[in-house]
């Protein structure tokens, strides 16, 4: 055990990526074929860490909130993305080098080489001007980019569904659309009662122009998303439960000021003061903050930043990002967006199904409804094949503006042409109707988490270096809940009795639901160092006292302090399980 103080070490991305590759956290895919940019494989440690993070997210945002979970396909037909707006509006800014031909994210070139922090929010002409003004160059070969056109590039991967004259399809750029298109059925599972939430954890795909910084920006990644459907007129979140959560906020108003600063406040105060305009967004910020802390994000390097108007997605009226500081930069880990009724309205318009919910009134209401019953013997000869379109236009106009029918004729617009129709031929009337309810289009609140970036952040924030017994040590101070392996079990040396006892302990701990590794290679100090470096919280050593003493005990070593305690084997599984569940602390033993 060391008396030396442990220091949090500023880890570089190169050092972390090297550790990740060496210890099986993540590495570039298809290395045998030279690798391919933007695709990474999670190794045994990384897959386990990622899985534990996903399980922790599911427990908090699906189970604890009472939301349902689905698993939708990753390939969807083209009409889905026509309706969602992704075919026309899911673009990044591309600039191509005139010398080497490499393509780059124009906004990233600007952000990396100027004082502009959010170039993504700038119009394309402004980005071109900044490139010229600062004489920015190609990151690959150094050739000048001034005068090069900045163009939009759609990020979706296109594919074909079926053979021959197949239908076009796309790999989903977000898991959200898999939830939205199934809303007509999902609302039935929710018994047509608002509010309700649907979660999904799965892969998404974006053909990034210039993927970079290992798993921070990739072309295939995992999202954990919640789409929460509400009645905007009546549904309110339980703000009281998160009102006292302390948060660091960086609102757009501060970002737009030359000396703007982050604001330290609480969720309750942020809503009262109008810093966060949507109570629902504020609620999920309040839920997310302590969850991030629980999985290992350093709260001194964490904030919520509001999107500037120019960077908000086409569907969002407001959005806040959860950001973490790594490598000296702030990266987005999640977005909390108020999507309004955009998605459901679009799918209702483009599809053959209904994306509304019937809202029952407490008591039936008698209301006046404007209706039309056009004279088709007039419309048919007058408009021919467009007669039905005229009927639809008249119906919409009657519902929207009944005063249009007050004169002798009503004016309508049909494919850009204006037509006048005698009111007497429209069958216009205002009638009293008794209604039991109405169809409403729910609004959507969306917390969308990037799992890969969170894994990177957790590793980055957990990296430590110290000195133990005169030797330098590297270790990952991972939270027990997410650590890939919870306990390592070692026989002190090669001995049949020690190895037999160690293997029996491994079986007992695994039966208790703990993730366990067995290691008998090298001296005990080297084995400790290996487990420290992959973040294993505890190590159990079986020695000769274990097999010779009347009471069977083992040495349990804690990773962060290297403190060791002697514990009975009979209680070992129960004790370690309680520590992992947060019900017991090691220093209380």
- pLDDT at position 126 is 94
Work out the pLDDT band at 314, boundaries 50, 70, 90: low
Nearest to 244 by CA among 225, 229, 266: 266
**Which pLDDT tens digit goes with each residue over 181-212?**
999 999 999 999 999 999 999 999 999 998 98
Number of Cβ within 10 Å of residue 544's Cβ equals 12
Tens of pLDDT, residues 286-310: 999 999 999 999 999 999 999 988 7
Return the DSSP state at 135: T
User: Could you identify the residue written with the tokens 């673009």?
Assistant: 91
Q: So where are the chain's domains?
A: 9-48, 362-438, 485-588
Which helix (H) or strand (E) element contains residue 10?
none
pLDDT at 282 over 80: yes
Q: What is the pLDDT of residues 534-567, one digit of tens each?
A: 999 999 999 999 888 888 999 999 999 999 999 9
pLDDT band at residue 104, thresholds of 50, 70 and 90? Answer: very high
Specify the pLDDT at position 9.
56
For residue range 316-341, list pLDDT tens digits in order: 778 999 999 998 899 999 999 999 99
pLDDT at residue 4 greater than cutoff 60: no
Grade residue 568 by pLDDT with cuts at 50, 70 and 90. Answer: very high
Considering the chain, what percentage of its residues have pLDDT values greater than 70? Answer: 98
The candidate with the shortest Cα–Cα distance to 184, out of 357, 421, 361, is 357
Range 485-588 has CATH code 3.40.50.800: yes
The overall average pLDDT reported for the chain is 93
DSSP per-residue letters across 78-97? HHHHHHHTHHHH-EEEEEE-
Q: How do strand 196-205 and strand 220-230 relate by DSSP bridges?
A: antiparallel
Helices within 273-423 (DSSP H only):
279-295, 342-350, 376-383, 387-400
Predicted pLDDT at 10: 66
Look at the pTM and tell me if it is higher than 0.75: yes
User: In 3-state terms, what secondary structure has residue 53?
Assistant: helix
Please give the pLDDT value at position 1.
40
Contact call for residues 316 and 338 (beta carbons, < 8 A):
yes
The predicted structure's pLDDT at residue 343: 95
- Reference 315, options 329, 298, 335, 334; nearest CA is 335
Greatest mean pLDDT among 35-39, 107-111, 446-450: 446-450
């Amino acid at each position: 055990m060391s008396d030396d103080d442990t220091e949090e070490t500023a880890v570089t991305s190169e050092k972390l990526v090297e550790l990740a590759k060496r210890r099986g956290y993540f590495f570039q895919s298809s290395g045998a074929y030279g690798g391919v940019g933007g695709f990474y494989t999670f190794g045994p440690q990384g897959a386990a860490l990622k899985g534990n993070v996903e399980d922790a997210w599911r427990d908090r945002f699906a189970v604890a909130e009472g939301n349902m979970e689905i698993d939708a396909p990753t390939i969807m037909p083209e009409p889905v993305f026509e309706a969602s707006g992704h075919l026309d509006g899911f673009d990044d800014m591309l600039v191509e080098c005139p010398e080497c031909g490499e393509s780059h994210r124009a906004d990233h070139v600007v952000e990396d080489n100027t004082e502009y922090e959010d170039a993504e929010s700038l119009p394309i002409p402004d980005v071109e001007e900044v490139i010229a003004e600062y004489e920015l160059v190609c990151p690959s070969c150094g050739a000048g980019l001034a005068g090069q056109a900045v163009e939009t590039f759609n990020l979706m991967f296109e594919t074909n569904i079926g053979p021959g004259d197949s239908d076009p399809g796309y790999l989903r750029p977000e898991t959200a659309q898999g939830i939205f298109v199934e809303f007509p059925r999902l609302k039935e599972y929710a018994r047509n009662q608002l509010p309700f939430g649907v979660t999904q954890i799965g892969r998404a795909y974006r053909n990034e122009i210039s993927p970079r910084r290992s798993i921070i920006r990739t072309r295939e990644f995992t999202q954990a998303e919640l789409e929460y459907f509400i009645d905007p007129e009546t549904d309110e979140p339980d703000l009281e439960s998160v009102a006292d959560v302390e948060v660091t906020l960086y609102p757009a108003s501060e970002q737009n000021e030359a000396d703007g600063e982050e604001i330290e406040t609480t969720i309750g105060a942020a809503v009262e003061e109008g810093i966060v305009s949507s109570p629902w967004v504020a609620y999920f910020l309040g839920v997310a903050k302590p969850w991030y802390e629980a999985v290992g994000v350093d709260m001194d390097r964490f904030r919520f930043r509001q999107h500037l108007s120019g960077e908000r997605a086409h569907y969002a009226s407001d959005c806040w990002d959860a950001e973490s500081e790594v490598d000296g930069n702030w990266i987005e880990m999640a977005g909390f967006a108020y999507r309004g009724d955009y998605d459901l309205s679009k799918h209702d318009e483009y599809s053959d199904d209904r994306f509304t919910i019937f809202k029952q009134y407490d008591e039936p209401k008698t209301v006046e409804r404007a209706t039309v019953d056009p004279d088709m013997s007039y419309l048919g000869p007058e408009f021919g094949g467009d007669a039905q379109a005229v009927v639809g236009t008249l119906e919409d106009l009657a519902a929207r503006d009944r005063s249009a029918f007050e004169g002798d004729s009503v004016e309508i617009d049909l494919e850009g042409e204006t037509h006048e129709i005698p009111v007497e031929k429209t069958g216009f009337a205002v009638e009293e109707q008794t209604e039991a309810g109405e169809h409403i289009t729910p609004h959507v609140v969306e917390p969308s988490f990037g799992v890969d970036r969170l894994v990177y952040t957790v590793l980055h924030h957990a990296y430590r270096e110290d000195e133990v017994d005169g030797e330098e040590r590297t270790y990952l101070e991972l939270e027990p809940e997410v650590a890939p392996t919870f306990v390592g079990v070692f026989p002190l040396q090669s001995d049949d009795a020690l190895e037999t006892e160690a293997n029996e302990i491994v079986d007992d701990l695994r039966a208790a639901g703990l993730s366990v590794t067995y290691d008998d290679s090298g001296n005990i100090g080297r084995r400790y160092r290996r487990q420290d470096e992959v973040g294993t919280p505890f190590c159990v050593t079986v020695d000769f006292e274990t097999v010779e003493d009347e009471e069977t005990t083992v040495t349990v070593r804690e990773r962060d302090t290297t403190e060791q305690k002697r514990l009975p084997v009979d209680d070992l599984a129960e004790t370690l399980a309680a520590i992992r569940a947060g019900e017991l602390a090691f220093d209380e033993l």
